[in-house]
A and B are shown apart, each in its own frame.
Chain A
Amino acid sequence: MIRTDDDNRPVPEALLKRVEAEEEKGKGKLKIFLGYAAGVGKTYAMLEAARQRLSEGRDVLAAYVESHGRSETDALMAGLPGIPPLYLKYQGMVLTEPDLDGVLERRPQIALVDELAHTNAPGCRHDKRWKDVEELLTAGIDVYTTVNVQHFESLNDVVAQITGVEVQETIPDALLDQAAEIRLVDITPDELLQRLREGKVYIPEQAARAMETFFRPGNLIALRELSLRRTASRVDTQMRAYMETRSIPGPWPAAERLLVCVSGSPFSEKLIRATRRLADELKAPWYTIYIETPSSSKHSRQNRRRVWRDMRLAESLGAHVATVTATSVPEAAVDYALRHNVTKIVVGKPTKPRWRELLSPPVVDRVIRLSGPMDVCVVSFDSPEGPSQTAVSPAPPFQPSGYAGSIALIGLASILCQLVRPYISPTNMVMVYLLAVVLAAIRLGLRPAILTAFLGMLAFDFFFVPPRFTFAVADTEYLITFTALFTVGVVISSLVSKARERAEAVRTREVQTASLYYLSRDLAAAADIGAILDAVVRNLGESLRARVALFLPEGERLEISASSSGLILDMNERTVADWSYRNRQPAGRGTGTLISADLLYLPLQSATSVLGVMGIDLEDHDDYTVQETRRLLDAFATQIAMALERVQLAHQAEQAQLLQARENLERALLNSISHDLRTPLVTITGVLSSVLEEGDHLSGQARRELLESAREESGRLNRFVGNLLDMTRLEAGAMTVKREPSDVQDLIGCALAAVEQRLGPRSVAVNLAPDLPLVPLDMVLMTQVLVNLLDNALKYSHRDSAIEIDAARDGDRLRLSVADRGPGIPEADLERVFDKFYRVPVPEGAGGTGLGLSICRGIVEAHGGTVSAVNRSGGGLRVTVRLPLEMFGKEENNAYGI
Chain B
Amino acid sequence: MASDKTKGNLPHILVVDDEAAIQRFLRTVLDAEEFTVHQAETGHAALAAAAVIKPDVILLDLGLPDLDGVEVIRRIREWSPVPIIVLSVREREDEKVQALDAGADDYLTKPFGIAELLARIRASLRRTLQQVPEPVFTLGGLVVDLPRRLVSVDGAEVQLTPTEYDLLRLLVTHAGKVLTHGQILRQLWGNAYLEQPHVLRVNISNLRRKIEADPSRPRFIITEPGVGYRLQTPR
Contact = CB atoms under 8 A, between A and B. Distances in A.
Contact of B225 (A714, A741, A779, A898): A779
Contact of A743 (B90, B91, B111, B204): B204
A656 B190 CA distance: 59
Contacts of B198: 740-741, 774, 896
A802 to B, nearest CB: 14
B128 to A, nearest CB: 27
B110 to A, nearest CB: 9
In this complex, which of A714, A729, A896 has the most chain B Cβ atoms within 10 angstroms of its Cβ? A896
Contacts of B93: 780
Interface residues of B, number: 22
Interface in A697-746: 711, 714, 718, 722, 725, 729, 738, 740-743, 745-746
A430 interface: no
Contacts of A752: 216-217
Contacts of B218: 749
Contact of A746 (B111, B201, B214): B201
Contact of B223 (A750, A766, A768, A778): A750
Contact of A898 (B91, B202, B223, B226): B202
A749 B197 contact: no
Interface string B175-216: 000000000000000000000011001101110100000111
A783 B224 CA distance: 11
Contacts of B90: 722
B40 interface: no
Nearest to A757: B113
A740 B204 contact: no
Interface in A765-789: 766, 768, 774, 778-780, 783
B222 interface: yes
A746 B222 contact: no
A743 B113 CA distance: 29
A788 to B, nearest CB: 14
B201 A766 contact: no
B223 A718 contact: no
B37 to A, nearest CB: 23
In this complex, which of A714, A722, A768, A898 has the most chain B Cβ atoms within 10 angstroms of its Cβ? A898
A753 interface: yes
A741 B204 CA distance: 13
In this complex, which of B215, B222, B225 has the most chain A Cβ atoms within 10 angstroms of its Cβ? B225
A743 B216 contact: no
Nearest to A780: B226
Nearest to A715: B111
A746 B205 contact: yes
Contacts of A714: 111
Interface in A812-857: none
Interface in B51-99: 90-91, 93
A786 to B, nearest CB: 10
B202 A749 contact: no
A614 interface: no
A778 B226 CA distance: 8
B115 to A, nearest CB: 11
B28 to A, nearest CB: 14
A753 B217 contact: yes
B197 A741 contact: yes
Contacts of B197: 740-741
A748 interface: yes
A780 B223 CA distance: 11
Contacts of B208: 745
A898 B204 CA distance: 11
B216 A750 contact: no
B156 to A, nearest CB: 22
Contact of A768 (B204, B206, B216, B225): B216
Contacts of B206: 898
A743 B201 contact: yes
A749 B217 contact: yes
A435 to B, nearest CB: 97
Given A749-B215, A898-B206, 11 more contacts: A741-B198, A743-B204, A745-B208, A746-B205, A750-B225, A753-B222, A753-B223, A774-B201, A778-B226, A780-B225, A898-B205
The 8 A-B residue pairs whose C-beta atoms are closest, nearest first, are A780-B226, A741-B198, A766-B216, A779-B225, A896-B198, A780-B225, A743-B205, A783-B225
Interface of B: 90-91, 93, 111, 113, 197-198, 201-202, 204-206, 208, 214-218, 222-223, 225-226
10 contacts: A714-B111, A722-B90, A729-B91, A741-B201, A745-B215, A746-B205, A746-B223, A749-B216, A753-B222, A896-B198
Interface of A: 711, 714, 718, 722, 725, 729, 738, 740-743, 745-746, 748-750, 752-753, 766, 768, 774, 778-780, 783, 805, 896, 898
